[in-house]
Amino acid sequence: MKAIAWLAGLATLLVGALYMVVSLNRWEWNRALFFGLIVLIAEVGLATALILRRIGQLAPRSDIDPAVLAALRDTRPPRPDRFAWLEPNQLNVFITFLVGGGVILSGVAWLVDRIAANTTTPAGEEQLARQLGPISYPRGGLLVDDVTVLAQAVPGCDDAQLRRLLRRSGQGGRA
Amino acid sequence: MKYVGAIVGLALAVIAVAMLRDATLSTHQEIDPDSRIELVLHVRTNSAEAGQTLDEMAEAQLLTCRLEVSSDPVSPLEDLGDGRFRVVLAPSMDETDQRQFRGCLEDWVIDHVTASVERLEPIG
């Protein structure tokens, strides 16, 4: 049966190739394409069969003593149930999920905190600085220079323009 | 011995490819514009669509394939009976065009139609 299959595949390949060449020689392009497709299919089939046959030859021969094999199978250790925690009547699964969920949530929270620290903190600082501007002390401080102090201390000097001048000089600082 | 076989096989493959290239290469010659060529075509159908006659299919095959050459039909498609049709084209065709035209007519161009060229020869 295998020989018939091999012969059929090989004959298909050769006849397809022959007709493809003949069709090309006759300028019959559609026929040439069709036979080329047949050749390609046969080629892929034969190549696959060859590879499978070679793999079959490479496989180890089964010269195993059945008694030894049976003894090994009988003394096989029980397979450990590595997924016992998934049993519905076990509470370990909740602990596992809680711990795992906690780790994941902590990671997400850390990531959010890092992003917020790098984005909102500088912006908040700038906004606070702008808000503190109107209530900040005047530039140069509240102290006035000696001349202004002496001028203000002159007895009987109660002039509104002088007081305005003194306030302005007091805000201007000791330049 | 193994190398000799490989070399011989390679040489044969190269020769075969070269021959196929020559067989499919277009080499055109000057054609007298007043020359004519006669085509007799045998057309067969298989499981044709209802309402499509053999004449229509033969004409469709002819009109499709004449686009591959420089010649045009100068006479109506004459039904010779028994699936055979005759038409005259002008100008005539050189050897390459004749092979290309014959190959197209005998190729699988239109579904349900196969044709074979019975005569393709210059006339007059």
The predicted-structure confidence for A101-149, as pLDDT tens digits, reads as follows 999 999 999 999 998 888 887 788 887 887 887 887 777 677 767 776 6
Q: How many C-beta atoms surround the C-beta of residue A151 within 10 A?
A: 15
Chain B residue with the nearest C-alpha to that of A20:
B20
Cβ separation of B107 and A29 shorter than 8 Å? yes
Name the minimum distance, in Å, from the CA of B102 to any CA of chain A: 8
**A72 vs A76: CA distance, rounded Å:** 6
Question: Does A15 contact B at CB distance below 8 Å?
Answer: no
Which range (A49-53, A87-91, A111-115, B73-77) has the least confidence?
A87-91
Name the minimum distance, in Å, from the CA of A25 to any CA of chain B: 6
Are residues B109 and B65 in contact, defined by beta-carbon separation less than 8 angstroms?
yes
Cβ separation of A24 and B24 shorter than 8 Å? yes
What pLDDT shows up at residue A153? 64
**A96 vs A172: CA distance, rounded Å:** 69
Rounded mean pLDDT, A47-63: 84
Strands (DSSP E) contained in A77-174 are: none
Are residues A39 and A22 in contact, defined by beta-carbon separation less than 8 angstroms?
no
What pLDDT shows up at residue A146? 75
Cβ separation of A31 and B23 shorter than 8 Å? no
Q: What is the mean pLDDT of chain A?
A: 81
Q: Which residue has the higher pLDDT, A124 or A94?
A: A124
**Parallel, antiparallel or unpaired: strands B72-73 and B84-90:** antiparallel
What pLDDT shows up at residue B40? 96
Question: Where does the pLDDT of residue A79 fall: very low under 50, low under 70, confident under 90, or very high at 90 and above?
Answer: confident
Question: Where does the pLDDT of residue A34 fall: very low under 50, low under 70, confident under 90, or very high at 90 and above?
Answer: very high
Per-residue pLDDT at A174 exceeds 50: no
Q: Which residue has the higher pLDDT, A26 or A42?
A: A42
Per-residue pLDDT of chain B (124 residues; tens, 9 = 90+): 778 999 999 999 999 888 888 877 778 888 888 999 999 999 999 888 888 899 999 999 999 999 989 899 999 999 999 999 999 999 999 988 999 999 999 999 999 999 999 999 998 7
Q: Which residue has the higher pLDDT, B76 or A87?
A: B76
Share of chain A above pLDDT 90, in %: 31
What pLDDT shows up at residue A64? 78
What pLDDT shows up at residue A156? 65
| DSSP line for A38-78 | HHHHHHHHHHHHHHHHHHHHHSPP----HHHHHHHHHTPPP
Are residues B68 and B106 in contact, defined by beta-carbon separation less than 8 angstroms?
no
Per-residue pLDDT at A154 exceeds 50: yes
Which range (A9-13, A91-95, B93-97, B119-123) has the least confidence?
A91-95
Q: Enter the ipTM.
A: 0.77
Are residues B24 and B64 in contact, defined by beta-carbon separation less than 8 angstroms?
no
Those residues whose C-beta lies under 8 Å from the C-beta of residue B78, and which sit 6 or more positions away, are: B85, B86, B87
What pLDDT shows up at residue A175? 39
Q: How many C-beta atoms surround the C-beta of residue A39 within 10 A?
A: 20
Judging contacts by C-beta atoms under 8 Å, the chain A residues touching residue B13 are none
**B24 vs B21: CA distance, rounded Å:** 5
Question: Does A18 contact B at CB distance below 8 Å?
Answer: no
Question: Where does the pLDDT of residue A166 fall: very low under 50, low under 70, confident under 90, or very high at 90 and above?
Answer: low
Per-residue pLDDT at A172 exceeds 50: no
Judging contacts by C-beta atoms under 8 Å, the chain B residues touching residue A21 are 16, 20
